[in-house]
Amino acid sequence: MFVLLACTKDKEKPSVSVAPDCQQFLDRYFEAWKSKDVATLQALCYYLSPEDRSRLPEGSLETWRYSKNKLVMENFEQVTKTFGDFKEYKILSVKTTAISPQDQPAANMMGSGIHTELVCKAKFSKKTDAHVGLHLIKETEGSPYIVAAWNFQANL
């Protein structure tokens, strides 16, 4: 899976709007792609719920962080090698769902909180377009977003 992007206006039709805090997250996240700031991408990727954190064996959280940071780096390198430098993106669709701890089995499977699923059209220097799916989560209304999952598909 891969993630990427940064908000620009498309001549075809305007980007779909998102909540202000989500847009702030996207601006930060996609500026990191554009500026090749892998450390910021690593900090913003991979959600681990409090329940999942509590189930990790003692001392394994650092191993988990190392593994996820390595995966973010590998994904960044692969996308850049295949498609070139990230240029811009446009949000095509957005869907937000609140999952409470009482919403079983969804809370067990995805974690409780505010889930925002986005589909974006991205442009790169080597190839024109790609569709990027992002699944963002924030645990509470006031907490920050983090990338829980993503997918990346080249437009043929």
Domain at 47, CATH number:
3.10.450.50
What total number of domains does the chain contain? 1
**pLDDT tens digit sequence for 32-69:** 999 999 999 999 988 787 777 888 888 898 898 899 99
Instruction: Indicate whether 132 belongs to any domain.
Output: yes
The domain of 107 spans 20-154
pTM, 2 dp: 0.81
Burial class, 70, CB count within 10 angstroms (exposed 0-12 / middle 13-18 / buried 19+): exposed
**pLDDT tens digit sequence for 104-122:** 666 666 777 899 999 988 8
Confidence of residue 9 (pLDDT cuts 50, 70, 90): very low
Phi, psi of 42 (to 5 degrees): -60, -40
**Hey, is 127 helix, strand or coil?**
coil
Q: Which residues pair with 10 in a beta bridge?
A: none
Of the candidates 29, 26, 46, the one whose C-alpha atom is nearest the C-alpha of residue 38 is 29
Instruction: Indicate whether 30 belongs to any domain.
Output: yes
Instruction: Indicate whether 39 belongs to any domain.
Output: yes
